[in-house]
Amino acid sequence: MWKSCRHCGHAVVSRPRGLCWTCYYAPGVKDLYPPQGQGNGVKDITGHRPMPPWPTEALPGSPAKVEVLCQRASQRWNLWHPKDAR
Ligand SMILES: [Zn+2]
């Protein structure tokens, strides 16, 4: 199972912080995505959530999509994925 990069959203994550190689080494990009699991965890509530590991083909407003959103919420994933069906 692979995850897509938090920054560009389409490259496979190959570096820490959920970034792809290109974004991780691009100037300033990794500063936008502080490492997780250290410091205070309070920001996690409203901060960045990891991108879901896979997109959904369920159309917006469909019961299947609602199901997917519930699952993502329970996994603390971002509710939106750049490759979701529209
Ligand atoms: Zn990237």
Per-residue pLDDT of the chain (86 residues; tens, 9 = 90+): 678 999 999 999 999 899 999 999 999 998 898 876 555 544 444 467 899 999 999 999 999 999 999 899 898 999 989 999 98
How far does the centroid of ligand 1 lie from the alpha carbon of residue 63, in Å? 31
Question: Contact at 8 Å (CB) between 58 and 65?
Answer: yes
Q: What is the pTM of this model?
A: 0.44
Partners of residue 12 on adjacent β-strands: 4
Q: How far apart are CA 69 and CA 33, in angstroms?
A: 23
How far does the centroid of ligand 1 lie from the alpha carbon of residue 23, in Å? 4
How far does the centroid of ligand 1 lie from the alpha carbon of residue 70, in Å? 26
How far does the centroid of ligand 1 lie from the alpha carbon of residue 81, in Å? 14
Question: Contact at 8 Å (CB) between 56 and 85?
Answer: yes
Domain parsing of the chain, residue ranges = 1-37, 49-86
